[in-house]
Structure 1
Amino acid sequence: MDAKLLEILVCPICKGPLHYAKARQELICRGDRLAFPVRDGIPVMLEGEARELAPEEEVGA
């Protein structure tokens, strides 16, 4: 994931910051507890494509 792209991307729902989970290839919104997939290096920032994080799932540091 390009660092400059990550700096400008925000959650499409709450407009909060996103955190890149490299191992899962996801962008995580801590506030909404959503994970947006990154497919072939392209973030899919659609609410319908996001998955909800389970209550026990880590949201990153």
Structure 2
Amino acid sequence: MAVQLDPQLLEILRCPAPDRGTLSPGTPGDPEAEVLTCAECGRGYPVRDGIPVLLLDEAVPADGGDPAEQ
């Protein structure tokens, strides 16, 4: 199921990384994924129970590697 967030909230949310990129639902490879993906750095932030977890420690790197390696 795709991320379901209020469109106004999605407009104001930004990546917590220094780039402060905009976030979009899903990933380039899976638009139905339960993540928000940063347009600048490509990190994916999980959405759990409808709540975006915008913590760098929880982010999935753009290359899909281990978050601890960021």
TM-score bucket of the superposed structures, by smaller chain: 0.7 to 0.9
Q: Pick the aligned partner of 2:33 from 9, 21, 24.
A: 24
**Aligned-pair RMSD on alpha carbons?**
1.5
Secondary structure at the counterpart of residue 8 of structure 2: helix
What TM-score comes out, normalization by structure 2 length?
A: 0.70
Aligned residue pairs total 55
State the percentage of identical aligned residues.
Answer: 42
What TM-score comes out, normalization by structure 1 length?
A: 0.79
Q: Pick the aligned partner of 2:56 from 47, 56, 60.
A: 47
More strand, by proportion: 1
Give unpaired runs (5+ residues) of structure 1: 56-61
- Show structure 1 runs of 4+ deviating over 2 A: none
- Please say which structure displays the higher CA radius of gyration: 2
CA distance in 2, matches of 1:11, 1:54: 17
